Amino acid sequence: MSEDRTLFGDGRYPDSGPLAVLARMGFIGAGVAIVIAVFMPAELVPDFARSKYLQHFAAFYVAQLLGLAAMPRARLRGVVSGYMVFATVLEASHLLSGAQLEPLIDNWVADIGGIWAAAAPVVVERFRRRFPRSRPR
């Protein structure tokens, strides 16, 4: 019996496969981009959404997806927790420069929302796998 090595099959995908490598590169790139955006002057950060909260949400949503793809063997709880700590440290770092707490909390909530929105489909899929498939009659 041959092992299914296709992208969307149930078989094992090689660690050195092009998509696995691309996921790791995207993971690092997203982290670096978020850190740069946080410490850049606000007027230099490009607006890619109508709301800065939507930008926070989208940035952490994409970063979380890339993190999950880059670390397929890591526990979901660990990846989510890591990104939550990352978001908390980044938002708290603004306090050192004298920023007001209220907008930082709003930004942090948007960050956490993006993280959990990306993790939710994984949780739902794991729940669905607990139910046996019905057999055709």
Would you kindly state where each structural domain of the chain is located, as residue ranges? Answer: 18-129
Residue 3 confidence (pLDDT): 54
Tokens of 112: 């956490």
Integer Cα distance of 89 and 125 in angstroms: 30
pLDDT category of residue 1 using cuts at 50, 70 and 90: very low
Question: Does position 4 have pLDDT exceeding 80, yes or no?
Answer: no
Are 110 and 53 in contact, with CB atoms under 8 Å apart? yes
The residue-averaged pLDDT of 125-132 equals 90
- Does pTM surpass 0.85? no
In whole angstroms, how far apart are CA 4 and each of 20, 47, 70, 122?
16, 43, 20, 22
